[in-house]
Structure 1
Amino acid sequence: MKFFEIIPKKGGALRVLYRNTIWSLLVFILLSGTVAAEINAAFTGVPMSGSEPLTVSFIDQSSTNATITNYSWNFGDGSNNSSDRNSNHTYVSRGRYNVSLTVTNDIGENNTKVEPAFIHVLPSQYPVVKFTATPENGSISQIISFIDQSELDPSVPAEMYTYIWDFGDGTTDSSNTHNTCHAYTSSGSYSASLQIQDQTGKLYDSSTPVTITISNQSAFSALFAAVPPSGPVPLSVSFIDQSVSPVSIASYAWNFGDGSENSTEQNPVHTYQGAGKYNVSLTIANADGANAITTKSAYIHAQPSRYPSVQFTAVPQSGTPSDVIYFIDQSELDPSVPYEMYTYIWDFGDNSTSNGTNLRNIQHVYSTPGNYTVSLQMQDQVGAKYNSPSSVVITIANGSSSFTPSFTAAPRDGPVPLNVSFTDTSKSPVSITNYVWDFGDGSSLSKEKNPVHTYAVPGVYPVSLTVTDSNRINSTKTEPAYIHALPSRDPVVKFGVSPLNGTAPLLVHFMDKSELDPSTPGEMFVRIWNFGDGSTPYKSKEKMAEHRYSEPGTYSASLQIEDKNRKIYNSTAPATITVTNKTPSMKAQFSAVPLSGPVPLDVSFTDQSVGVNNRTEYRWDFGDKSSLSRDKNPTHTYRNPGTYSVTLSLSGPHGSDIMKKDNYIAVAPPLAHIITATASDHGSITPSGNISVPDGADQSFNITPDSGYTINNVQVDGISIGKASSHTFMKVRSDHTIQADFTRQSQTLAADFMVDKASGSTPITIQFTDKSTGSPDSWYWNFGDGSNSVKQNPVHTYTISGQFPVSLIVRTMDGRYDESKTRYIFAQ
């Protein structure tokens, strides 16, 4: 009897034993080669970049010929390792992080995969609020366009911010729309500003306001604005007519500066296909036959689309025929261009390609063993092509997988809560004994064959299925970005109107301010404007519209929005527009209390005008060169003596008027009080003498003793406050006195001195320095050579050689003290 017994030796050689029972011969045949540890760690992460804090779903894609029993994730940010198979991790600090996964199977083999700089956490940018207005000089009822130019966090959709505009004329506008427009109803200079509120309620102010100057002249000029004035090509620009004319405008002629045909529309939309800076001109003609033209040089800047940096990876990068290889796009794209606008052309290296697709990620199956070089080419919306700088080599070995896991899902997208039915379509030559589903949203794993799962939170989720057959062999299939759960919120339709009233014919501008699903581009919605005057509803994908009301009356305007499924949503409230043909009279009048008094004089002004309403604008000039007030009933403080004229100016939709009252307010000099400050000998008080202090003001004094003296006592209004070195009279209402006296410091009198040198060749000049204590009044020096001095710190020259004693006598009114030093100076 013969048989073969195959005995694998871990990590070593195969031994083949040949047995023959007759000859009892045992032959060992050592075959060359070793059994490799068939375990490969692999993983991916979704997303791999984003703003802090960034939550990443890590998905295991490891393979082994046994069962993996242990996982160890290192996320590279110093946090604790994770032992979950698929792990969610949140990075709280910006930076690039290495990620590694170590897997161990049930026979003790392990393998580690390290991905350097795998996760890129970007900083969250606080909004830098900036804007422009065009034009900055205009006339009454002319439309001024305000254009947001703020720098926002690119990880947060712009629609998540609220834009709070203050036009400086008492009106504001708040919405989640970048840009807005406004018409001023009276002449003047207005300071416009912008605040941006983020999703947490925090406010950010514009760094610099914009001053709008409005004149009351009935000018005739061609004026216009453009939104946006710059951006990558193809650049679609909405041009807004802002022309002014005393009569109606009969025709428009636009030249866009790029060689295209002129447009005769009032508010055209034009697309620039080529990069460059373009001049734009507008020519208008009014009903009287007059013409006006305005040209803006280099007004539109069509920028080149940023070239994509084409990068990709493959998971796994080795396998056997029939294995599914996943190719994952990691290109850096122009953030202003949706990735769906690019075409992805994959070359799999086996004479097959993807033939162009707008799917970023794709999968491929190789049918024969070999090494395949894979590359990716991207084509943008204008046909330009960009190649990956490096390729990925896929190694397909002999043999085949024991089975191929696969699945389907329906539906794969929809609003939350999204119920998805998953169906296993795996193929295996033997029975499948175990299923493990990971739905990618952090929920519990499912072991059903065909589970149903509900996605409760909007997002894009990967899904993986791991199956195990009756031979205890398992395999995993992962579909990245497989399920798209959309927000369920319906549009909230709102809009703004400017102006709400005026005289016929009245040109009114409308702006859509609806709260839309941020996951759906705004141009996917159709806006249906009903102006309420019997005219045909106006349909457009643009957010702005305008309409001219030719007859007096009260009109109710409304907005409907139609989504891509043709579902209609109505505005929450209509807007009432009042058009009149009669201008009521307006008369400015006012009074003030008190009319006179000393500084500082607080005066309350009361408006008593007639013919005003809640749209009337006030401008008070108090005659003292202070800032103007726009309050209806202001209070003003006069701080300098004098006689002042006061002027009240009114303006509004029904006209304007001015009242000036000459020499209306008389302000007297302030009341004053005298503080007498004196000091005795041996010190000073600052200021000193008779000090005049305004009524209600504060006055401070500093007391300083001379050297050798100290403050003995300070009296305020004859009452001692001790040895204070300063004193402040608060809110002086009457006369006061302050007096300071001083006394000698108590210190023991003692004579002492030093010299800068004690020896040298004649003539030798020596500096003597008094070091006595007790503040002496006089000094007497004897230099030992017949000379003396009464200075405190004398300089003496010795002209003869010898050794000389030196003595110093110091005196005060209380006595004397002397110091002698023998053989002190040696002159050679």
Structure 2
Amino acid sequence: MAAQCTINSDSVVCLNDFISFEVDLGSGTANSYAWKLGGNQTSTLAKPIAQYTSFGSKQIEVTVQLAGGGTCTATKSIFVHDRPTPQIYTDPNSNFCLTKNQVCFQDQSQPGKTGSAIVKRAILFGDGNADVTNNATNKQICYKYPASGRFNVVMEVTDAKGCYSRVYDTVEIYHDVPALFGYTLTGSCDSTLLCMENLTRIDSVNSYGFWWDFGDGYIDSTNWTMACHVYRDSGSFSPRLIVQSSPRCRDTFQQNNLISLDPIKFDVHLMDTVGCLGSAFHFEDRRLDKTSYQWDMIRSDGLIYYVATTPSALVVPTIIDKYVLRLTAKRGTCVRVTYTDTFEVLGPLAQMTVRNSSTCAVGDTTYFCDISLYRNSYGVIRVWDFGDKNAPGCTTDTKNGIHVNSNCRYSKDEYAKHKYNSEDCYQATLNLEDTITGCTSSQTMKVLIGQEFTTPSIMTYFNSKPCLGDQIERLFKFSVNTCATYYINPDSAANPNAWHPGLGEWKYKAKSDSSGFVTVGLVLAGGDSNSVCPGYTGGPKCSDTIWYHHWFQLFTPPVPDYVFTESEGCAPHLAEAEFLKKGDTTVRRMYWYWGDGESDTVDIAPGDTMPGFYQHLYRKNGVYTAMVVLENTQGCLEAYNQVMNVGHAAEVTTTGKACVGSCVDFSETVNYFYDSYEYWKDPFRISQGFEKIYWDFGDSTTDSTSNPTKCYQNQGSYVVKLISIDSNACADTVYLNLEVGGVQAKIHNPKQTILCSEIVQLFDSSYVINPSTGEKIVDYSWDFADGSRVKKLPNPYHFYSSFGEFYIKLKVKSDLGCESVDSVKVDVRGPLPSFQFVTDSIGCAPFSIELKNTSKQSVSWIWYFGDPNNTTLPTPFDSNVVFTYDKPGVYYLALYGADSIYNPATNNRQFCTAIYPDLRVPGQIEKKVIVLPNPKADFEIPDTVCVNEEFQVKSTADAKYNWHVWIWGNDDSLKTAQRQGSYKYNAAGTYGVWYKPTYPPDQMNRAVCLDSALKEIEVIDIKADFTIDTARSGPLHLQFINLSQGAVKYVWTVKGLDSTKVLHASNVTDLFYRFHPNKGRFEICLKAINERGCEDVVCQIFELDYPHHVRIPNVFTPGVLDGHNDAFDIDIEGEIQYHVSIFNRHSQLVFESGVDGQGNDGINWDGTREDGSTYPAGVYYLVFDYQFEYEQPVRYTGTITLLR
């Protein structure tokens, strides 16, 4: 009988999620289970787990075999809901530049195909902020990022069945930089040079581009630091700088209408171009559109005279010349110069000199000389008017003989003369008139006839304060009303002979008379001595003197010089000033300015002396300049300064953060004002207690060391005090207000277990330790320890894409710079796939690897091998896997792991996946396999070579090889970085040449894959050799015998070494060569050539000579027993034939020989017969036949005299 049982499980599940089943038997014990889970899934577990990859209704069935026999079968229907389809679209028209960023996202998500509506949407912007909305109706979500960088955006949508899906996107906010430039302008109206200096706070390396747009069509994108351009076109231009600081961000800085090119035009009018000296010339520019004017006159010698800075000007030239008028005008940055026509100043200029212009009595003639300037004048008439009303009104004209001897009042002479007959002061005038131009000029001079006598009223003086000294108000000015030349003695008591001509003013620095009264002298002088008139002499001199006795009185100003009895002190310091001159009764008032902002005025009664000492209290340390001003009864003032050094100066500086738990380093600087030596730093003085310092840190703690460090334990405001004391017990106190802050970071009730795929929000509960100080937390930094960006929000959202244990850290910072950190460990539940290499990860193709699955919390895996075929290996097992790579390359591995995680909030299991390595997780790095290529090795070598023949080998291996090794098969090798080399064998044979190239491993892989090649080479031998056949050779001919081996061809060469000339060449096997008539040193070479063309050469050097001669005597003396000339000896050398016949006078043969003897050796004839008897003395006849090598036979006949 079948028992009753039921299936317990959820009725709905989301696509790809896990769902667990179990059977309720009621009573009884199960022996086995047979589950049909739908979708071809089965299980024999008591509590199976299923995952569905298709949506819709699924029929679940289980059959249980009971332990006591019987079965139980149960069925149940569940529904698999499709997940919603999330879609997020970033609007490309968003502003991605930090300053004005506004990123808009379009939500285009759709419900799953099973129709469940989307009820929740969460968008994590990647910086900790999020937008979480239920039943969202707005499809556009815009967000402004507070910082630049790349942000991972996550959108999660959840439907009414609790099924959710996520989509990921990336947003990059670019750091933009405002463009900025400075500029300089140089130029005129027609062109302007603009130079712009880039002031943008970014360098060219970090910019993505820049453009200088000068506004006239010219663009410069090359010169980052500065760009210059010349404007030549009319118009207004607005240059700008465009800087692209990132791929999407650019900024423009523009100077509107900076350049305005409008050529300056002139309308200059010169009223007169010619004028007489003294005439006014008027000129003007009638175009009044300039901002500034400058008129200049340029003389013919180039000298420039400034005229005016107004649009019109009036000038009266004082020099006769021809001038060019120049106008320099400016409008804005535009400057232009124009030159007008010339204008001419006409002469003449009357100038004269007089002899006897001052005479002591009537009687002398006065002479007048014309030294006028007649430049730019043409028809000048000269007329002298001597100013003598008593003279006849006639005009003397010596040139034309008119009134030559008359003492006329007028004259036309260049050098005129006139006699004044009465004493007076006359006004003589020279008048010039140009009859062509009409220009006139005149000059008048005084002529004094007779002596002028002084009167008291003839001289006066002016002075505002009759005190001694250089001050301008103490200057005396003199005025003399006279026609005569005068001299003034300003102080007769100082020097009675100190006369100054025409003296106008004088400063009195000292009293010459103790009373202060001054006597001034005046001399009126007659008699002329300064004329330049040629040929005339002056008359006698005369003078009159007047003395102004005690004309005025000079007063001595008071002497304010004083010293401080002590120029240094310690605050509060009572400074005492002592005057150097005591007992002065003329001082009526004393003004003190102490230099510390205080002053005193002391009035002194008439007749009283000023006090010799005066005191002032300096309340603070410092350097003060004290000044006293004394005023005497005559109103004379005099001042004097002195410096007072009071105490010393101290200064306190700090480093470090003034925060609770942190330490502050204090540093003091203490010095005297007048002495830079650091007494408070001198170890000896400190050890002796001469100088001391005391710190009071404001929290009841103190210190007496230099540069102390103080750690505050409580937040608050502290007044730090530094007291410095010198060896005189002088103290100075410096105060420093110190705010000690403190914050405490705190993460509020963090969720310490996070399920996979869960979006969490962290909350801040940090606080200021002492809020009464007004300190504020101004910065938050959340580090989620998963490689994501630090989030700068108080309460950020976060999504963990990987699983495991993470230490979340929150760091807060206050406006005082105080920091605090809190951290918490969270466990993110989910699969933790991982693997290790069993084999090496670097190898040569083909390369096989073995991987060990070391995953945790995973129930299924997919291996990704990263090969070109995108090979994957799904597996439910965690056993090792092996994979082979056939081709070289770098392959990146990944392991996808999956598991189901129980969610107690929903009482269900959810499907979680993870991938390893996850490069977003700190510490996880890429897992890669490097399959190295086997670069082909090969080389070229000849098949056959000769012994000692140098041959070439050349590598045809892969270019990757950079070190080449050839092993020649004879214990020798060649190692080189070159791809070719040479070698020669010295012995015949067959050799195996092994080529083994290498290349260095790269620094990353540290491995190489090498190839090699082996080839054979045959080495054949050939030997050249020869000798001489002496039997067939002579002194100048040789027969050579060829002894060469392995040759098929020969080349003989005969070369004379003394002449370096090749005498003979032959291809015969055995060479016969006749050297005659040549002799000397010869080189004989034999080249032997085998059938391959290999050669061997042997050379021998021979020195050949053939000395030969003959000398036939005609007398010999065998009868003289002296041992000399005892036989008839023919001296011959080198003969090949020799025969001597001697006859007596009866033609009888007395001696015959075919052998050349030597002296009396028994071979030569000694004048005896065969029997030993001697031939008589007398004349005998000789027949001598001989022959030399290479010559014809010779017969010699002659006589021989035998003497006894």
Compute the TM-score of the two structures, normalised by the length of structure 2.
Answer: 0.15
Compute the TM-score of the two structures, normalised by the length of structure 1.
Answer: 0.21
Return the structure number with greater strand share: 1
Higher RCO (CA < 8 A, seq sep 6+): 1
